[in-house]
Amino acid sequence: MSTPPQTAAEGTSAAPSGTARQRLDLVAALLAKEFKVRYKNTALGYVWSVLHPLAFALVYFFAFKVVMRFETEVNYALFLITALFPWQWFANSVNASCATFTGSASLITRVRFPRHLLVLAAVLNDLAHFALSIPVIIAFMLWFGVAPSWQWLWALPLLCAGQFTLVYGLSLLAATLNLFFRDLQRLTILLTTALFFISPVIYGLDLMLDQAPARWQWVFFVNPLVPLMAAWRDLFLHGAPQPLHVLLAAGQGAAALLVAVPVYRRLQWRFAELV
């Protein structure tokens, strides 16, 4: 007995196998699309990805250094930049992830492909922008008399891999759940804003732990950005991150994937009808 032909929605419900080369080609095409869309009709293009955290650094420098006279071990401008650039990668990816599937409705309903590659391409795009901003961080380091160390050879790729795992896991989870709960996009923005102020970005981890009441310090230990931002700052300012921070960041990234991937696989068959 012959089986009935599949509809467009049914045809996209199954996860296609595809070869590794085909998937790489698709990710490359999606990356090119992401880059073009982000800087379409802008005069400065990529420069905006550097100007944005620098502008925030200027605002926080004025507020905390000039007005409040906040003291740090190094120049406060450098102190800010070492965490603001990694934070921008995290915030940009996670905040934009909720619209990844909903914004690709025509592609999802018409073409069979692994939908998670849309999220992967978006996160890789932000990773590429972060990588291109590292020379800017190094320029500020050299200006203030701080030089990179040989330990960057292992620590830099390790931290990039740890943050990529965390960001991809959270982005995949947010993109999937947003199809079922459309308010999640606004809640995600509120949550990332809250995470910014309870993460060691505009102040150091030691100050957070010293000043926070003991009954609230558990918040810092469940926040995945705490060890990650502390590790980035230690890498840029002191030449290497603390191994404990690296291990915690890697573990939390793995936990994000362990939650996100099963949720995505369980719900992906409904994507075509929900977008």
- Is residue 9 a part of any domain in this protein? no
Query: Which tokens go with 57?
Result: 């650094």
**What pTM did the predictor assign?**
0.83
Q: How far apart are CA 196 and CA 80, in angstroms?
A: 12
- Is residue 121 a part of any domain in this protein? yes
Query: For residue 67, what pLDDT is reported?
Result: 62
- Is residue 92 a part of any domain in this protein? yes
- Is residue 270 a part of any domain in this protein? yes
Give the closest residue to 72 by CA, choosing from 205, 215, 194: 205
Give the contacts of 114 (CB within 8 A, at least 6 positions apart): 15, 16, 18, 23
- Is residue 13 a part of any domain in this protein? no
- Is residue 53 a part of any domain in this protein? yes
- Is residue 8 a part of any domain in this protein? no
Amino acid identity for residue 52 in this structure:
H
- Is residue 12 a part of any domain in this protein? no
Give the closest residue to 75 by CA, choosing from 55, 56, 61, 88: 61
Q: 240 with 151: CB under 8 angstroms?
A: yes
pLDDT (tens, 9 = 90+) of the chain, 275 residues, equals: 444 433 333 333 334 445 777 778 777 777 777 666 666 656 555 666 677 677 777 777 776 666 656 667 778 889 999 999 999 999 999 999 998 888 878 788 887 888 899 999 999 999 988 998 899 899 999 998 999 999 999 999 999 999 999 999 999 999 999 999 888 989 999 999 999 988 999 888 888 777 777 777 777 778 999 999 999 999 999 999 999 999 999 999 999 999 999 999 999 888 877 77
Domains held by the chain: number: 1
Q: Which domain holds residue 102?
A: 18-274
